[in-house]
Amino acid sequence: MTNYQKEKPVQPPRDAQNRKDKKPSLPSYKRGPFTWLLIVAGLFILIMIVQKLQGVEEIFWTEFVEHVKNSHIDSVTVKDTEITGEFNETARSQREGSGSFVVYFNPDVQGRTLDKLLQENNVKYNIAPPRMWFWNLIGMILPIIILVGIFYFMFARNLRGGAGGMLMSFGRSRHKLQSKDRAKVTFEDVAGIEEAKEEVAEIIEFLKNPKKFQRLGGRIPRGVLLIGPPGCGKTLLAKAMAGQADVPFFSISGSDFVEMFVGVGASRVRDLFKQAKENSPCNIFLDAVDAIGRKRGAGFVGGGHDEREQTLNAILVEMDGFDTNDQVIVVAATNRADILDHALTRPGRFDRQVVVPLPDLKGRLEILNVHAKKIKMAPDADLQKVARGTPMFSGADLAAIINESALAATMTNKEHVETSDLEEARDKVRWGRARKSRVIDEKEKVITAYHEAGHTLVQSMLEEADPLHKVSIIPRGPMGGATFALPEKDRTMFTKRYCMALLQVCFAGRIAEEMFCDDISSGAQSDIQQATRIARQMILTWGMSKTLGPISYEPDTGLDNKLYFMPSEREYSEKTAEEIDNEVKRVTDETYKKAKELIEANKEKLEKIAKALLKYETLDADDVKVILDGGDLDKPTVGDLLAAEQAKTDQPEPQEEQQQ
Ligand code: ADP
Ligand code: ZN
């Protein structure tokens, strides 16, 4: 498998810090419904045990009648529907068990014969006064109360989620108020999105100093829409705006509005704005507005439609209702600006739109630096290299890398985070933890080694391709191994030569398997997918085919409603479709052939790389260069490293578990 920036970024788990920001601290009183169930069950069991200890034996009516007839019982007490008493000496000598018994009977059935039975058999009996009605009532009501209580804890608390958890406060908004003095976020913490920062600077100025703006009578923007992929710092920027201006920060997510009950969303909106006005100047942050602000009537949207519309209307009404004295700025975030209702983006509403894009190389380095300040870095740790090796990573991904690297360094008892920790963290954030412990079938390992060696060879030998970063046959996530490229800059443009080189690198894995292993494997699946995607794009979108010429054959993805109603139609003839297929095939075949020739001419080199991979598992660009130049590698093998590690753990001093 090869790695290029064209690949879609995987959304990693957000770092713990962030998660902490988003969830408010729970109320200290948080006994779950199951705890209560356990307590009730425990009580029942306790009562049963106590009864057993008392040694009262429950017997059936028929048994009781037998005992009476056999003169096993001298006297009993009748109370309500139960008879209690003790067996006499005769009975005790004959039967095991405790001396006391209890019989439950139905007064309407057995009750009629009870009197007669006891008298005929000379059993003395006294009738205890019936239980008070009060206790009977309790006996009936208590189970109901318990049931209701359980339901309450299971549902009501979950619904409300917040402190108190009262059923009455359904309509109350669920936003979190961030007061001024709480962990303040400033522009210092936001990196790599300079343009966005500049654009919101004006609004911060307004929050800080509204008088200045009122003097000239200009209309202040009331709503700012932050548009960008997840994890790029929209929430962070909104928080920083509040932090810079030193005002409170309210945040609520669009999905909070769309609840179970119609009308709740709208009332939450009103509540939120009311509170905001009371706290003005302040900043309201609406996360994921697309959950409510979707184009009305667009597409087949199922239930909750009315609810959304009502909520949206409430927001619009509130925003229109601001007067010049309300210093409330509403910041909304979305990653799908194209599906937002136009009513939201009209002047006076969210008319200021700020794009928060994925960071570029420089931005990534800056974000890494911001987060690296919080941890101990080795002086020679190479953040520049990490920034280069992370195209398409979001700010959240980068924050996660720094965090993971610190964890990894801690687990191995290092003084500070080194470049190797950063590398490992990067791979882990993107592809999951290395599965070093997985027992790999020897044959599988050999195939993987040759496959990756093929990628590596072609990647390093083709001038047009990105330089090699490293190659590894340690399985990670779903993959058996990987070859990484290290682009010098982010590519915003793909040349035809670059694409052709890319295709050759993709095919090299499969070709190497074929040539050296006498068999082919499914490991080439993602390579083939990627190659096909590039080839199709070259021809359909980028007009790189001579035969078909510079015509776009892509379905028109204009952002009109059409998109939501019907699948896009093909806009060319059957014949052109055939030609397209032929062209894709031609480009594919051509690059496959070229790659094969290149590998054939460098068979020994590939063999050497594969052997080195089997020995060392991971090779970096320098290692590969040594091999390609005909040299021999001289570094400890995986086996040596493991032995060294083992020796370390065998030492008497206690050592924490090793983690990689
Ligand atoms: P979004 O709201 O766009 O989904 P967040 O603002 O919640 O993303 O970002 C999540 C985390 O990622 C932040 O708390 C921060 O730690 C990190 N992060 C994202 N973008 C940046 C950035 N530009 N500068 C610094 N840290 C960032
Ligand atoms: Zn591959």
| Within a domain: 648 | no
Q: What is the pLDDT of residues 101-125, one digit of tens each?
A: 888 888 788 877 888 888 888 888 8
List of residues 6+ apart from 409 with CB closer than 8 A: 416, 417, 418, 421
On the question of pLDDT at 658 being above 60, the answer is no
Domain match, 270 and 328 both: yes
Q: What whole-number distance in Å separates Cα of residue 544 and Cα of residue 495? A: 9
On the question of pLDDT at 594 being above 90, the answer is yes
pLDDT-wise least confident of 15-24, 96-105, 462-471: 15-24
Q: Does the beta carbon of 231 lie inside 6 Å of ligand 1?
A: yes
Check residue 5 and give its pLDDT. 37
Check residue 505 and give its pLDDT. 94
Check residue 508 and give its pLDDT. 95
Domain match, 337 and 411 both: no
- What is the rounded average pLDDT of the residues 178-204? 81
H or E, element range at 611: helix 603-616
Domain match, 304 and 319 both: yes
Q: Does the beta carbon of 377 lie inside 6 Å of ligand 1?
A: no
Report which of 54, 92, 96 is spatially closest to residue 74, judged by C-alpha positions.
92
Check residue 405 and give its pLDDT. 93
452 in catalytic set: yes
Q: Does the beta carbon of 370 lie inside 6 Å of ligand 1?
A: yes
Check residue 367 and give its pLDDT. 95
On the question of pLDDT at 498 being above 80, the answer is yes
On the question of pLDDT at 140 being above 90, the answer is no
Q: Does the beta carbon of 227 lie inside 6 Å of ligand 1?
A: no
Domain match, 539 and 599 both: yes
Q: What is the pLDDT of residues 63-83, one digit of tens each?
A: 888 888 888 888 888 887 888
More confident of the two residues 12 and 505: 505
Domain match, 320 and 189 both: yes
Q: What percent of the chain has pLDDT over 90?
A: 21
Counted residue by residue, the chain has a size of 660
Ligand 2 centroid – CA 623 distance (Å)? 20
Residue 479 corresponds to which amino acid?
M
| Within a domain: 48 | no
On the question of pLDDT at 26 being above 50, the answer is no
Pocket test for ligand 1, best of 236, 397, 403 (most atoms within 8 A of CB): 236
- What is the rounded average pLDDT of the residues 247-275? 77
Check residue 40 and give its pLDDT. 78
Domain match, 454 and 535 both: yes
The answer to whether 293 touches 341, Cβ cutoff 8 Å, is yes
On the question of pLDDT at 622 being above 80, the answer is yes
**Which of residues 130, 150, 185 is at a domain's end?**
130
On the question of pLDDT at 189 being above 50, the answer is yes
The pLDDT-based confidence of 27 (bands split at 50, 70, 90) is very low
Cα–Cα distances in angstroms (integers) from residue 293 to residues 24, 222, 310, 522, 566, in the given order? 25, 17, 10, 44, 22
451 — phi, psi (to 5°)? -60, -50
Check residue 179 and give its pLDDT. 58
Check residue 593 and give its pLDDT. 96
List of residues 6+ apart from 515 with CB closer than 8 A: 450, 599, 600, 603
**Ligand with an atom nearest the CA of residue 3:** 2
Q: What is the pLDDT of residues 318-339, one digit of tens each?
A: 888 887 777 888 999 988 777 7
More confident of the two residues 50 and 105: 105
On the question of pLDDT at 435 being above 70, the answer is no
User: Atom of ligand 1 at shortest distance to CA of 230?
Assistant: 4
Ligand 2 centroid – CA 396 distance (Å)? 28
**Which of residues 355, 383, 413 is at a domain's end?**
355
The pLDDT-based confidence of 22 (bands split at 50, 70, 90) is very low
Q: Does the beta carbon of 602 lie inside 6 Å of ligand 1?
A: no
| Within a domain: 283 | yes
Q: Does the beta carbon of 223 lie inside 6 Å of ligand 1?
A: no
User: Atom of ligand 1 at shortest distance to CA of 396?
Assistant: 12
3-state secondary structure 446-507: HHHHHHHHHHHHHHHHCCCCCCEEEEECCCECCECCEEEECCCCCCCCCCHHHHHHHHHHHH
Q: What whole-number distance in Å separates Cα of residue 448 and Cα of residue 609? A: 12
Tell me which DSSP letter residue 154 carries: I
**Ligand with an atom nearest the CA of residue 238:** 1
Check residue 372 and give its pLDDT. 93
Burial class from Cβ neighbours inside 10 Å (0-12, 13-18, 19+) for residue 236 reads buried
The pLDDT-based confidence of 6 (bands split at 50, 70, 90) is very low
Q: Which of 259, 418, 452, 583 is catalytic?
A: 452
Q: Does the beta carbon of 191 lie inside 6 Å of ligand 1?
A: yes
Domain match, 526 and 607 both: yes
Phi-psi region of 340 (alpha: psi -120 to 50; beta: other; left: phi over 0): beta
More confident of the two residues 584 and 210: 584
Q: What whole-number distance in Å separates Cα of residue 365 and Cα of residue 374? A: 15
- What is the rounded average pLDDT of the residues 252-256? 77
Q: What percent of the chain has pLDDT over 70?
A: 77
Q: Does the beta carbon of 12 lie inside 6 Å of ligand 1?
A: no
pLDDT-wise least confident of 122-136, 137-151, 388-402: 122-136
Domain match, 276 and 341 both: yes
Ligand 2 centroid – CA 260 distance (Å)? 47
| Within a domain: 40 | no
**162 in helix, strand or coil?**
coil
**Which of residues 355, 374, 400 is at a domain's end?**
355
User: Atom of ligand 1 at shortest distance to CA of 238?
Assistant: 6
Check residue 235 and give its pLDDT. 92
More confident of the two residues 33 and 169: 33
| Within a domain: 586 | yes
Domain match, 82 and 206 both: no
On the question of pLDDT at 162 being above 60, the answer is no
| Within a domain: 18 | no
Q: With b meaning 16 or more CB within 10 Å and e meaning fewer, what string describes 60-97? A: ebeebbebbeeebbeebebeeeebebbbeeebeeeeee
Q: What is the mean pLDDT of the chain?
A: 78
Check residue 510 and give its pLDDT. 94
Domain match, 611 and 575 both: yes
Check residue 473 and give its pLDDT. 85
More confident of the two residues 276 and 453: 453
More confident of the two residues 219 and 499: 499
On the question of pLDDT at 271 being above 50, the answer is yes
User: Atom of ligand 1 at shortest distance to CA of 192?
Assistant: 23
**Ligand with an atom nearest the CA of residue 452:** 2
The pLDDT-based confidence of 24 (bands split at 50, 70, 90) is very low
The pLDDT-based confidence of 297 (bands split at 50, 70, 90) is low
Q: Does the beta carbon of 192 lie inside 6 Å of ligand 1?
A: yes
On the question of pLDDT at 15 being above 70, the answer is no
Check residue 31 and give its pLDDT. 56
CATH number of the domain enclosing 365:
1.10.8.60
Cα–Cα distances in angstroms (integers) from residue 649 to residues 446, 638, 644, in the given order? 30, 17, 9
| Residue with CA at minimum distance from ligand 1 atom 17 | 396
| Within a domain: 252 | yes
More confident of the two residues 434 and 185: 185
CATH number of the domain enclosing 211:
3.40.50.300
CATH number of the domain enclosing 520:
1.20.58.760
Ligand 2 centroid – CA 340 distance (Å)? 40
Extract the tokens encoding 627: 């091999």
On the question of pLDDT at 16 being above 90, the answer is no
Domain match, 141 and 233 both: no
Q: What whole-number distance in Å separates Cα of residue 351 and Cα of residue 343? A: 10
**Range of 139's domain?**
135-166
How many other C-beta atoms lie within 10 A of the C-beta of residue 320?
Answer: 11
The pLDDT-based confidence of 272 (bands split at 50, 70, 90) is confident
Check residue 585 and give its pLDDT. 94
The answer to whether 73 touches 88, Cβ cutoff 8 Å, is yes
More confident of the two residues 483 and 385: 385
The pLDDT-based confidence of 506 (bands split at 50, 70, 90) is very high
Q: With b meaning 16 or more CB within 10 Å and e meaning fewer, what string describes 578-616? A: ebbeebbeebbeebbebbbebbeebeebbbbbbbbbbeb
- Greatest Cα pair distance, the chain, in angstroms, is 117
Ligand 1 centroid – CA 307 distance (Å)? 30
The pLDDT-based confidence of 174 (bands split at 50, 70, 90) is low
Ligand 1 centroid – CA 553 distance (Å)? 37
Q: What whole-number distance in Å separates Cα of residue 64 and Cα of residue 59? A: 7
Q: Does the beta carbon of 241 lie inside 6 Å of ligand 1?
A: no
**Ligand with an atom nearest the CA of residue 525:** 2
Domain match, 301 and 371 both: no
| Within a domain: 6 | no
On the question of pLDDT at 228 being above 50, the answer is yes
Ligand 1 centroid – CA 395 distance (Å)? 5
Q: With b meaning 16 or more CB within 10 Å and e meaning fewer, what string describes 462-499? A: beebbebbbbbbbbbeebbbbbbbbbeebeeeeeeebb
- What is the rounded average pLDDT of the residues 17-25? 38
Check residue 14 and give its pLDDT. 38
Check residue 359 and give its pLDDT. 87
CATH number of the domain enclosing 91:
3.30.720.210
Q: Does the beta carbon of 193 lie inside 6 Å of ligand 1?
A: yes
Ligand 1 centroid – CA 235 distance (Å)? 7
User: Atom of ligand 1 at shortest distance to CA of 236?
Assistant: 6
Q: Residue 78's Cα: distance from chain center in Å?
A: 65
pLDDT-wise least confident of 116-125, 148-157, 234-243, 312-321: 148-157
pLDDT-wise least confident of 154-168, 376-390, 507-521: 154-168
As for how many domains the chain has, the answer is: 5
